[in-house]
């Protein structure tokens, strides 16, 4: 994270911080939707409409990420784990726990809460979008809801990859913790899968770049670098004895 807070607020008792790096991803999503997604699904509409819908889609994505992290935070708080705050930054969001979960069950439930919220949001947007389209209320609004359905399902599935520090990696650590009875060993194994996944994502990014998909390729590569560094950092905190 960049460490430069753009603005902050409180929601449901949690401190929410928006890192300045979030401006980049917000602008990128708006541009991508306005120049590619909406022109492909709404070819008969003006450029201004596409840009307005792009901004609306980016705002919906912002809310989706925030609710994803709120899911983690609410479950953690219910287990008595304090939340130092939620930060949204260029690579998504993170809910900072005051301390580690006390047992595998807590780890599993806190980690699974985020993807569950994303799945539920996806189903909600799908249902509302279907009703809007069927009623003929607004074709542009239905297109935005369709995008939010897709992005939430993708967000949920991506986060369930068993690679630390993704939510799936934390779920994987909970399972290993239950089996090994050793939090440190479980963390090292989960971090190894995280680094392996990061290498695979880097390779995918390079392949994408060589095939002319420069933005998506670079984005995959940068995400992979972030995941690799995060996994390597957490593994260093639990060296093999």
Q: Is the pLDDT of residue 2 over 80?
A: no
Confirm if 56 and 49 have CB atoms less than 8 A apart: no
Contacts for 177 with CB less than 8 Å, ≥ 6 apart: 104, 107, 183, 186
Question: Which pLDDT score is estimated for 55?
Answer: 96
Q: Sign of the CA dihedral 92, 148, 27, 204?
A: positive
Of residues 60 and 237, the one with the higher pLDDT is 60
What's this model's pTM, rounded to 2 decimal places?
A: 0.91
- Domain residue ranges of the chain, discontinuous segments joined by +: 1-160, 162-241
Burial degree of 6 (CB within 10 A; 0-12, 13-18, 19+) = middle
pLDDT tens column, 142-168: 999 999 999 999 999 999 999 999 999
Q: Hunting for tokens 């799936």 — which residue is that?
A: 168
Catalytic residues: 69
CA dist 64 and 58 (Å) reads: 10
In the predicted structure, residue 24 carries a pLDDT above the cut 70: yes
**What confidence tens digit (pLDDT) does each residue in 113-138 have?**
999 999 999 999 999 999 998 888 88
Nearest one of 15, 19, 16 to 5, comparing CA atoms: 19
Mean pLDDT of the chain: 91
What's the mean pLDDT in 222-234?
91
| Cβ atoms of 202 and 225 closer than 8 Å | yes
């Amino acid at each position: 994270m960049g460490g430069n807070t753009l603005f902050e607020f409180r929601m449901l008792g949690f401190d929410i911080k928006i890192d300045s790096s979030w401006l980049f991803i917000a602008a990128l999503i708006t541009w991508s939707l306005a120049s590619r997604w909406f022109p492909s699904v709404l070819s008969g509409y003006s450029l201004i409409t596409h840009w307005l819908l792009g901004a609306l889609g980016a705002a919906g994505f912002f809310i989706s990420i925030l609710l994803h992290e709120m899911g983690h935070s609410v479950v953690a708080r219910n287990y008595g784990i304090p939340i130092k705050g939620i930060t949204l930054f260029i690579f998504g969001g993170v809910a900072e726990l005051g301390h580690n979960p006390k047992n595998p069950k807590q780890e599993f439930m806190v980690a699974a809460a985020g993807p569950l919220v994303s799945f539920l949001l996806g189903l909600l947007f799908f249902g509302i979008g279907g009703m809007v389209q069927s009623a003929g209320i607004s074709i542009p609004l239905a297109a935005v809801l369709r995008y939010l359905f897709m992005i939430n399902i993708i967000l949920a599935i991506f986060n369930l990859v068993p690679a630390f520090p993704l939510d799936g990696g934390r779920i994987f650590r909970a399972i290993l913790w239950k089996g090994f009875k050793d939090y440190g060993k479980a963390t090292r194994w989960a971090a190894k899968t995280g680094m392996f996944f990061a290498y695979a994502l880097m390779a995918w990014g390079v392949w994408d770049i060589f095939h002319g998909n420069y933005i998506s390729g670079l984005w995959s590569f940068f995400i992979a670098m972030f995941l690799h560094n995060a996994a390597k950092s957490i593994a260093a905190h639990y060296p093999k004895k």
